[in-house]
Amino acid sequence: MSTEIAVMVVDDDRAACHLLQGVLAKEGYRVETAESGQEALEKATAMPFDLVLADVRMPDLDGLQVLRAVKQLSPETLVIMMTAFGSIETAIEAIKEGAYDYISKPFRLDDLKLTVKRALDHKQLLQENLRFQQELKERFQLENIVGRSGPMLEVYKRVARVLASESTVLIQGESGTGKELIARAIHYNSPRAEYPFVVVDCGALAETLLESELFGHVKGAFTGAIANKKGLFEEANGGTCLLDEVGDIGPSTQAKLLRFLQERVIRKVGGTQIIQLNVRIIAATNKALDKLVKEGRFREDLFYRLSVVTVALPPLRERRADISLLAEHFLHKYAPQNNKDISHISPEAIRLLCEYDWPGNVRELEHVLEQAVALTRNPVLLPEDLPPPIRGSSREKSAEGGPLTLREGVKQHIQHVLRQAKGNKTLAAQLLGINRRTLYRLAKRYAIDLGEEG
């Protein structure tokens, strides 16, 4: 550990101060001690500390007063409270006042070292993430994409290689993983950035309507076509068109899309004029297109045309190292919108978030953080601010009496949300941060009877 990390131990027990100073110095930290709250404030004013370990009960200024003063002097300084067994309520109050964590006396020295290391690792991770985000912003303006896990670094590399390309890109990933965000990043960092970026939700339209939306139509082409209409491909001319949920396109439109990708020309529904276009296509899907090809539900030649370059987005459960970064990102996004002064998320709440399976992926995590920020009255997000299934998943027991499995926890959460929505599947999907199609897919995966749930 770097000797540049400065730690202060505050305890009116001189022997405890010296013991902790020796223990932490052996871990590589630069350690100062203070035997009173007043001495601690004098030292904190004179120099910055990365971490302060403060006893709760001291004769002049108690630990809570030291905490408030230190956070006022240096909001970035982490504070861990040391509390006797009988004052847990005070420790919880300290968390609400902005302490990072607390440890109960008597404690094992190994537990203390672990708590200090976890706190400093958390601080370093946040600082590195800020630097990393700034580097991405300067290079590619990808400031809205958060993550430093191995899978996400591979995504960044892949995206960086296609920014200047004209190749068609296929983005694959479960619902809520951020496929549209990646598509926007590609467009707005490409030579087409000054031209339109148009999104088409292929799964939301019947095939006949989708054809008209993509290619446009002429007046009188069908009942209701009272005027000529420009298609979305034409709207995106010069820019990029994202075909979201491209796996839902029907056979007729697949054939016409293939022709467009080959020739870059369109003919409006009911029209005869050939229109030349210059549009880059990015396709996104939560389905395995190669599997659909084998089943005869998706054209093989179209699949190869769309997948010139593929970007595979990992589900959130496979990039758990990013959950704390994403959670902090959403906290700082929604706290100002709700006029809330919330400094951070408590370690216990972070642990619960990291243990949850996130069937709705990043979109669901964002919804949970937005809801927690809107409803909390605390200056720190605590486990009590999280939805019951998330904060209870690590403590609940299965019907057999053993620990609740991850699969059971996810299933119970979906069932809880369905009951909360009173059987309204559209509302339940919104609460989960997913769409109805994904809700049905998850219900099948986890053997949830949507009929019985309403």
Give the pLDDT confidence of 157-214 residue by residue, as tens digits: 888 889 888 999 999 999 999 999 999 999 988 999 889 999 999 988 888 889 889 9
Q: Which two tokens stand for residue 108?
A: 């094992």
More confident position, 326 or 227: 326
- CA atoms of 99 and 67, how far apart (whole Å): 7
The residues that bridge with 201 in the sheet, in sequence order, are 244
- Encoded amino acid at 354, one letter: C
Question: Is residue 434 very low, low, confident or very high in pLDDT (cuts 50, 70, 90)?
Answer: confident
Q: Tell me, what's the pLDDT at 400?
A: 40
Dihedral angle sign, alpha carbons of residues 102, 410, 338, 335: positive
Q: How confident is residue 368, by pLDDT bands cut at 50, 70 and 90? A: very high
Distance CA 168, CA 279 (A): 10
pLDDT tens sequence across 250-263: 999 999 999 999 99
Cα–Cα distance measured from residue 94 to residue 393, given in angstroms and rounded to the nearest whole number = 25
What CA–CA distance (Å, rounded) separates 203 from 184? 19
Task: State whether residue 281 is helix, strand or coil.
Answer: strand
**pLDDT top residue among 73 and 4:** 73
Report residue 209: phi and psi, to 5°: -70, -40
Structure tokens at 276: 């030349």
Q: Is the pLDDT of residue 51 over 90?
A: yes
- The residue-averaged pLDDT of 409-437 equals 77
**pLDDT at res. 69:** 92
Instruction: Report d(CA 46, CA 141) in Å as an integer.
Output: 38
Q: Which residue from 29, 21, 26, 23 is spatially nearest to 5, judged by alpha carbons?
A: 29
**End-to-end Cα spacing for the chain:** 55
Query: pLDDT at position 132, please?
Result: 62
Least confident range from 80-84, 86-90, 263-267, 300-304: namely 86-90
- Give the C-alpha separation, 453 to 238, whole Å: 48
Question: 4 and 127 in contact (C-beta within 8 Å)?
Answer: no
Which residue would you say has higher pLDDT here, 421 or 82? 82
Poorest-confidence range of 39-43, 130-134, 240-244, 337-341? 130-134
**Integer Cα distance of 263 and 259 in angstroms:** 6
Instruction: Report the percent of the chain where pLDDT is more than 70.
Output: 90
Rounded (10°) CA dihedral 351, 352, 356, 361:
-80
218-231 pLDDT tens trace: 888 787 778 888 89
pLDDT for position 265: 94
Helix-strand-coil percent breakdown of the chain, rounded to 5? 50, 15, 35
**What is the model's pLDDT at position 242?**
97
Second CATH level (architecture) for the domain 6-127 = 3-Layer(aba) Sandwich (3.40)
Decide: 306 and 170 in contact? Cβ < 8 Å.
yes
Q: Are 220 and 212 in contact (CB under 8 A)?
A: no
Q: Is the pLDDT of residue 396 over 50?
A: no
The pLDDT score that the predictor gives to residue 406 is 53
Q: What does the pLDDT read at residue 397?
A: 36
Question: Whole-angstrom Cα distance, residue 164 to residue 30?
Answer: 48
Grade residue 121 by pLDDT with cuts at 50, 70 and 90. confident
Cα torsion 45, 49, 51, 57 to 10°: value is -20
The pLDDT assigned to 89 comes to 73
Average pLDDT taken over every residue of the chain: 85
Q: Which of 383, 360, 385 lies closest to 177 in space, CA to CA?
A: 360
Check residue 370 and give its pLDDT: 94
User: pLDDT category, 408, cuts 50, 70, 90?
Assistant: low
Least confident of 61-70, 117-126, 341-350: 117-126
What are the residue boundaries of the structural domains of the chain, listed by start?
6-127, 141-312, 317-445
How far is residue 451's CA from residue 429's CA, in Å, rounded to a whole number? 15
Cite the beta strand spans of 309-400 per DSSP E. 309-312, 344-345, 380-381
Predicted confidence (pLDDT) at residue 215 exceeds the cutoff of 90: yes
3-state secondary structure of 408: helix
pLDDT at 2: 46
Q: Which CATH architecture has domain 141-312?
A: 3-Layer(aba) Sandwich (3.40)
Task: Return the sign of the alpha-carbon dihedral for residues 200, 202, 203, 205.
Answer: positive
Chain centroid to CA 415: 23
pLDDT at residue 399 greater than cutoff 50? no
d(CA 416, CA 394): 16
The predicted model scores a pTM of 0.63
Structure confidence at residue 281 (pLDDT): 97
Give yes or no for residue 454 having a pLDDT over 60. no
Q: What is the pLDDT of residues 127-144, one digit of tens each?
A: 776 666 555 555 555 556
pLDDT of residue 139: 52
317-445 classified as CATH 1.10.8.60:
yes
C-alpha to C-alpha distances, 96 to 50, 284, 349, nearest whole angstrom = 20, 42, 13
62-80 mean pLDDT: 90
Helices 361-375 and 323-337 sit at what angle, rounded to 10 degrees? 40
**Tokens of residue 83, six digits:** 């509390």
| Lowest pLDDT segment from 148-152, 327-331, 382-386 | 148-152
Domains 6-127 and 141-312 fall in the same CATH topology: yes
Q: What is the pLDDT of residue 398?
A: 38
